[in-house]
Each structure stands twice: as structure tokens, then as C-alpha cells.
Amino acid sequence: MLTRVEIDGFKSFEGLTLDLQPFTVIAGPNASGKSNFFDALRLLARLAALDLPEAVRTMRGDPSEMFRRRADGTTADAMRFAVEVLLDPEVEDAFGQRKPLAYTRLRYELEIERRSDEPGGLERLYVRREQAAAIRRTDDAWARRSPLAQDVAKRRARYGTGRARTPFLETLDDTFQVNQDGRQGLPRPFPVRKGRATATVLSKITTATEFPHLFALRQELEEMTFLQLEVSAEREPSDALAPDDLLPDGSNLAKVLARIEAETRTHERPRGDVGLIRSALSTLIPGVKDLRVERDEAYGRYRFLLTTQDGEEFSSRVLSDGTLRMLALLTYLYDPRRRSVLLFEEPENGINAARLARLIAVLREACTSVQAAEEDDERLFQVVLNTHSQVVLQATEDEALVLVDVVSRVDPELRAVTRRTRMRTGLVTNELPLGDREHRLTRSDIDRIVQTGDERSL
């Protein structure tokens, strides 16, 4: 679970620090930076598994456009990221090795620079700095932010101890170094010297054998799930050889349903957990009676069909946009392979107001709660949404809301205007003096800015 994100020098962000809850709604008008925030997390996820050129290749925009432009028209030479996470107490790698974690609160810092190796030469991307370490209880600002964070941390957080604890990963004067777990862990210099790394050290930690904390951190970042569902893609049958984890656009939905049914069916439950998905869908859409998946052997494809209460059966090609989006989301939520962090773009698309409010309630209930946190074997689960829907805002509790807008300031030396994305939490009920609005906000601020993009709340 992500508890804090810090971004500087990436797209529209300058010195951003944002704390996240198990359920967080990021609200703001178009072009305010909501998607840029998801892009930053997507880049971190890709850098946990791929080298730099490959990680940036399929991102939105050109690689050079990821670096923040200053007021004088120049471009920043580095992007800096930091994330703090709360991990499950045990990690398992692809080889089935399970390792307990002594510490479940970790902080990861990464700095990416653009640089040419000689005057007038071609620019390339390099890792300038990378560090990962356990968080000490006294340094955990997130755990003090709200009663919910305090309760979750109290039940699930395992903190680093001792003033001189060695980081799991650190950047030295001329090299990167990983350290085996434990206070007396043996250091191991990484075989790429500082200033030449074109991939993160984290991406090279592939098993839990020697470095379980680093592997758990890599897994947490790499496995963040991004959903930006496209109903035109969901309507189509899935190829039999399509991936069986849900793709961001939902285009392999039928294949995922087939895999869930195959992995969870029993003699008593021939549909397996697909039956649970059908039941959950029927609570959102009362007319749904049945959901089944079938394979077209002639064409090697899977498709799914819904049956209504009056006995009519419909294929995915004729289902409404809202039905398809809700089915894809419920499929992810009920998937036994569900990962710990879901980032979901604009859940309101194609869904009417009444059903959207119920869908938000389902998402909120799926997240880690204080009650779930009491059970050590309950896996952590977090949902972060971005939206500009008033319905989503009204269905969201105050502490889960983040307001995004764009603010401008004049650089007195350059006499030029610079703009940055601002993200605020800390909802209050009363109107605030002007000087307090940089960090706290009211419901009226949110309503006005989300609807109009009005920056007069500065």
C-alpha cells in the first residue's frame, strides 16, 4: 500500500508531497494534473522492472516532455521521486520462496537525470540516486496524519530500529550498494558505477532469497494495477492466448473470467468465483440473473454472456457501457490474483449516478479497513481514483478526498509566470482565511474548482 508520494521535476510537479489513504479520491478539473500523477506512478512501476529506455518508451508524451519546464523556458535536468509503503508481513517470489519481513514500513527514493556525456552529444537518461530503507516510528508522518492511518499503522506497521540502521539500498560516492537484511548485513556493491546506470538497482532484485525487503518493495511497485477501461475493447471476445491478468483497457476480460472460473471451480461450485462476480454485479444491476463464459473452439476465443431475470441472454457486444465497466471492475476485485494497489481512471464514465454511488461504496468496502487490519493474514488492498464527478465526490468521505488544481506564480527575477500542480487534503467545515488555503480546503472549494477550474481559492 502506498502511504506517501513525493514528486519533483516531473511534468507539472514541483515539490509535491501527498499522503494517501487506503481509499483515496483525487478530484480536479481537466488538465489539472490528475493523469500526470498516475503517469508518475506508472513510471515508477515500469522502472521497478525495466531499464530506463524501455520504461519511458510507452509513456504518454516524449521522454523529454516528462521533465518539468521552468519559468524561463529551460527544462529541469532531473526528476525526483519518493514513495513510502506499508507492506504485507510476508513476501513470495516467482519460485515459491516465502520470506517474512522484519520491517513493513519502507521508504524508496529515486532520481533520474538527463545528460549528454560530452558537449553537444546526445542526451541519455541515467539513474543518479537510489535509496531504500526502513522507516523508523518517530519518522512516520503518515501514521500521525489521521485516526485511520494511526489505527492501520498500529496494527500492521513494523518499524526500523536504531539510529545507525544501514539502508537496504544506497548510493555512495561512486557506486550503488545493496546490503543484506539485518543490522550487520553484508554490503554488496552493484556492478554499475554511479553516473552510468541505465536501470534501477531495484529492477535487478529478482528473488526473495538474499534481499526480501527489496524484493517486496519491487513487487509492490511493479504490480500496481492501472485501469483505464475502454468499453469498445471489453466488447470483443478474448483470444485464447491473451494474458490472463486484466489489462488496463479491459480487452481480455473474457479470458480473465475463464481463468478465474478454471482456478476456483469445485464440484459444489462449478462456476467458481465467477458466481461471486455475478452476485456482486446483480447488487449493482438488479436485472442480472446469470453470467457465464464460453470458449469458441473454432476460433480459439473466449466470450461471456449475461442472462437477465426475464431469461434473455446477451453477449458482450450488446451490453451497455456501464454494465461492461462494472463487470470489469468487479472481476478485478474478486480475482484471487488481485494485487495490493489499484489506480482507476474516471470510474464515472458510462455509469448513471445511482449505480455510480453504489460502485464507489463497493470500492471503498474492498479496501483495507481498521477491522481488516486486525487480521494479520488479510492482505492489504488500496484503491486510488481520479475523477471530476460530483457524484463520486458526494460518495466520498472527507479524509479520503484530494483536490487537484493548477496554481501560478510570478518569478520576480525572471518576470515570468510558472505553473505547477497542487494537491491538497485536510477538508474542514468552516471557511478559511486566505493564507490557509494552500494546504487545507472546504467542500465549497472542491465543488467550485472541480466544476469550473476556478483558481480564485488561492
For 238-275, how does the pLDDT look when each residue is reduced to its tens digit (9 = 90+)? Answer: 999 999 999 999 999 999 999 999 999 999 999 999 99
Q: Going by C-beta distance under 8 Å and a sequence separation of 6 or more, which residues neighbour residue 412?
A: none
Low-confidence ranges of the chain (pLDDT < 50): 164, 373, 435, 456-458
Q: What is the pLDDT of residue 184?
A: 55
The answer to whether the beta carbons of residues 245 and 256 sit under 8 Å apart is: yes
Q: How many CA atoms lie within 13 A of 195 on its CB side?
A: 5
Q: What is the pLDDT of residue 25?
A: 95
Q: What is the pLDDT of residue 379?
A: 87
Q: How many CA atoms lie within 13 A of 365 on its CB side?
A: 9
Query: How many whole angstroms separate alpha carbon 344 and alpha carbon 228?
Result: 6
Q: What is the pLDDT of residue 440?
A: 67
Q: What is the pLDDT of residue 432?
A: 52
Query: How many whole angstroms separate alpha carbon 310 and alpha carbon 287?
Result: 8
Q: Which long-range contacts (CB under 8 A, 24 or more apart) does 410-415 make?
A: 411/71, 411/72, 414/71, 414/72
The residues spanned by each domain of the chain are: 2-225, 228-395
- The class level of CATH for 228-395 reads alpha beta
Distances (CA, A) of 131 to 107, 175, 221: 8, 12, 14
Q: How many CA atoms lie within 13 A of 15 on its CB side?
A: 2
Q: Is 309 exposed, middle or buried (0-12, 13-18, 19+ CB in 10 A)?
A: exposed
Q: Which long-range contacts (CB under 8 A, 24 or more apart) does 138-143 make?
A: 140/105, 141/4, 141/19, 142/3, 142/4, 142/19, 142/84
pTM of the model: 0.91
Q: What is the pLDDT of residue 458?
A: 34
Query: How many whole angstroms separate alpha carbon 101 and alpha carbon 119?
Result: 47
